[in-house]
Copies of this chain bind each other. A is one copy, B any other.
């Protein structure tokens, strides 16, 4: 099976390169959000859309079934397209290629890809994004970066979400961040609560910089 997996990933990487060129040519900054079900990815996008109203945002939503998340994103004022994977556990570059031509994100805009809720498989599949963002909620435990290191190694940014629940759970923020940095010392880290808005300004400031400096960064950030 190993050779077949390698061929599958090589074909995916080729298509991801095509997506990256397509996005770069239009000055679109694409971020691939990866996290477990319930990490708060959709809530983070809703909070981001409400705060960052100066930038055009569109979203590709991945789920096994339902279009619930795309409807939530549209209600927050963004263009959104739902991709249903059925039994599939991750989005791949071919799905993004097809969806980009249907969604038609505006030149110079910010595109989020919300991956299928899964902290494991999406780490292996490049979609052509400028950066991968791993989202973890404080309810999931501070040991997760060590237990699921592949996604933390592949990510550029780590969003620690649901900080409003810290008084109600056993979670050591410093230990979690130390674990994450052991796996990947270059991670950019944001601690926030999509629900209360705590920390959202810092995250949105980073996004705005990223879109503002997109010509330099989307080339440099390509991996």
Contact = CB atoms under 8 A, between A and B. Distances in A.
A119 B120 contact: no
Nearest to A164: B168
A149 to B, nearest CB: 6
Contacts of A55: none
A140 B37 contact: yes
Contacts of A87: 123-124, 150
21 contacts: A1-B8, A36-B36, A36-B140, A37-B141, A37-B148, A38-B137, A38-B139, A38-B144, A64-B120, A64-B148, A65-B147, A65-B148, A66-B143, A66-B146, A68-B147, A87-B123, A87-B150, A116-B120, A117-B120, A118-B120, A165-B169
Interface of A: 1, 4, 8, 36-38, 63-66, 68-69, 87, 89, 116-121, 123-124, 137, 139-141, 143-144, 146-150, 162, 164-165, 168-169
